[in-house]
Structure 1
């Protein structure tokens, strides 16, 4: 799923001379999630990275695992976020200081929806940013556990 979104947004990012790097750990286990919800979150995070990145920069999308689940991160080289802006993240209608670099529209609701979707599937979403040094938006999905989620043969193909 991550590769498909990156391939789609590479064409859009190319208009701003933005390069995509996509990396995935080899041993990523299946995640317990809703594919549509995860797709909506990925779409929001990657489109935001393109929207707020200046021309000639790079966006890195990584999928890895930690002890609690599967982690996806979208890192840009945009303006980054102040502590004040970071405190407003994930609030409906929040207007932040950074502005889209190519005249794109922003409603201030995408991250709030992403947070709600990720939390509904038992995951979490957060941001790591330093003003002037870009931002990395990450989300963690719970690892699939047969004893909790049921037999694996009932599962669709892994979401990440």
Structure 2
């Protein structure tokens, strides 16, 4: 099932280390990604987060997400996500690819403290843009609509 969720500026949407039972798709707003107290990037409308907790085997969140301004999200619960993975395995490969790229980017961030926040954000955005260009998939909106029906 997909739900709508509204969070205000400064609200913590997910917390690093907690068990993740859902992922979020940003419909409106902007959030920051925080790992071990350091901002490593930002996400905006059309981006998603929380998939790592559903895919990494432990269910643990790899980062905290805090709203930089009022934001509206779709929340896709684990059961719905698992149903989508079964019904549309090729489409859900995108989530796996993004999750793996984020893990790899986070490893770079953790080992290179000299990288500026701006450079970290650019690196993450470039990697995700490459994924979106390479992926042959239906639009995320179509997949979400399928779950809602």
- TM-score, normalising length: structure 2: 0.29
Q: Which has the higher strand share?
A: 2
Q: Which has the higher helix share?
A: 2
Larger radius of gyration: 1
- TM-score, normalising length: structure 1: 0.28
